[in-house]
Structure 1
């Protein structure tokens, strides 16, 4: 048995002897180090409402199990992720992304929480958990990230981006941020990123014009009025019930940067007169003029600039 395998076996044995609550707290430490790059002792104490001695004991145990994972900065009174960090727990990429989208960071998925009998459609693409972790860290720190990215049009290239949001468009995950190559805010598919590395120090933020506050397409909200398709639907009432329409209309406000994704996901006919035929087109965009001056609409079904 190799030394690494033996050490892993010992760690698993030690974890099994701990209570569920304590393993959860250790998983939370692991989660914060992986996705935030650092953690205060007070973060753990406040999150789980434990005493100072219990919190200190948790960090001591974590250091015994994974001494190479964290280093304590006495000046900042904060634990930081090391360059040799390797997660002590297994964090599922899909579940972690959902939790991050809903501002949940509890570490439960890493220790086997309760599974409910609810089935979801299978995902054909799963992002690399370490790529996700680097993007999350760069987003929280407002730092630039060096990535290797493969696009459909130009193949593989190296870029520097300043990410500000991770986006689920219903089919796959994107990261949105400022692209220093094109000098514009763009979307990058997570699974097409093969390498990601932070460029600056922990407390070094990117330029203001590169940060999320400057992304006007992201902050601009536009109203979409969705109605049953005028030609493909025989019984409008069914569609009205599906989407909770009021007086035959569903009005939603979406980010301009996200409009194309939503329209594509729900197969919303964006032609002027609802001319797309087929059972998949059950909705029609009644106020297509709301999309004026909005980019990323090439994927909106039937939308063409006049």
Structure 2
């Protein structure tokens, strides 16, 4: 039946499906505002969606919204990698569910692609300000139940992780999405567990990056690669993300630019900015003073 309806209506149905999956609910007005359709057209879309997937949504008359049921199964296929990229760039329209134009551009493969339903539950928790119970497999302790309060999903350049308050360690940490095998929504978090209390997340570090003084023979090439001005690149990065960026760009973080190798084309000139930053074990050459 999906093949027999117009492309525009398939887009709207995909948007309903996307919101139910990732938000857990959708208001009729959300659809009307997003696609600039009339009230009657919006009602027809919801009626058609319910005809196609009757077990996917129920209507809450008091809240005047449609919400996801426990039996929910997506009507469309939502590709995990493309959906995560769209979410990261605030393009949460669900259009990937019905196919996009493909361009001849390739990117390096990630280690693994997260389970779309795990991602959806975590996004629901973040949007609805909920804690979650998960099964997490770590390198140090194997598979165990943990309670987290997630507030952001992040691409660290190699894989996706969720930034969350961990009730086991009573601290904010990063958890790799592909190591999470089950997610259950819990009650709302306490004040000290909310994202506003994540100091490393909200603290911005100024990084002063320059062409490596020993490994690069023609620094102008590096200046062009990174759009440097006055032979340097000045950027601000979250303290919680600094280690990931420094590793991804292979930035030499030693005090006197002593790392050797063609891969080290940048040097962190203001190394002192990393003082009192956690999670820097992966920063190339960094040794805490």
4+ residue stretches of structure 1 with deviation over 4 A?
none
Deviation at 1:113, TM superposition (A): 2.0
Moved more, 115-124 or 91-100: 115-124
Q: Which residue does 1:219 correspond to in 2?
A: 202
Q: 2:83–2:94: 8 Å Cα contact kept in structure 1?
A: no
Q: Is the 1:267–1:301 Cα contact (8 Å) retained in structure 2?
A: yes
Would you say 1:145 and 2:132 are equivalent positions? yes
2:69 to 74, 82, 87: 82
d(CA) in 1 for partners of 2:104, 2:31? 31
Distance 1:259 1:35 in 2: 28
2:26 is the alignment partner of 1:33: no
Distance apart, 1:124 and its partner CA: 2.8
- Are the equivalent residues in 2 in contact too, given 1:264–1:300 (CA < 8 A)? yes
Which secondary structure does the structure 2 equivalent of 1:117 belong to?
coil
1:237 to 207, 217, 220: 220
Contact 1:34–1:87 (CA<8 Å) still a contact in 2?
A: yes
Say whether residues 1:100 and 2:87 are aligned partners. yes
Cα distance in 2, alignment partners of residues 35 and 107 from structure 1: 10
Match for residue 229 of structure 2 among 238, 242, 246:
246
Contact 1:94-1:126 within 8 A present in 2 as well: yes
CA contact (8 A) 2:150 2:163 kept: yes
What does residue 304 of structure 1 align with? 287
CA distance in 2, matches of 1:45, 1:114: 25
| Aligned-partner Cα distance in 2 for 1:255–1:122 | 25
Residue-pair matches, total: 289
Is contact 1:162–1:177 with CA below 8 Å preserved after alignment? yes
Counterparts of 1:251 and 1:105, CA distance in 2: 30
Which of 19, 23, 36 aligns to 2:6? It is: 19
Residue ranges of structure 1 left out of the alignment (5+ in a row): 1-13
Query: What CA distance in whole angstroms lies between the structure 1 residues aligned with 2:237 and 2:243?
Result: 10
CA RMSD after TM alignment: 0.7
Match of 2:98 in 1: 111
Alignment match, 2:265? 282
Note the C-alpha offset of 1:181: 0.5
Q: 1:246 aligns to what SS in structure 2?
A: coil
Q: CA deviation at 1:86?
A: 0.3
1:105 and 1:268 map into 2 onto residues whose CA distance is 33
- Between the aligned partners of 2:129 and 2:29, the Cα distance in structure 1 is 23
Quote the offset at 1:62 in angstroms.
0.3
> How far, CA to CA, are the matches of 1:270 and 1:107 in structure 2?
40
User: TM-score, normalised to structure 1's length?
Assistant: 0.93
- Stretches of structure 2 lacking an aligned partner (at least 5 in a row): none
Between stretches 274-283 and 107-116, larger displacement belongs to 107-116
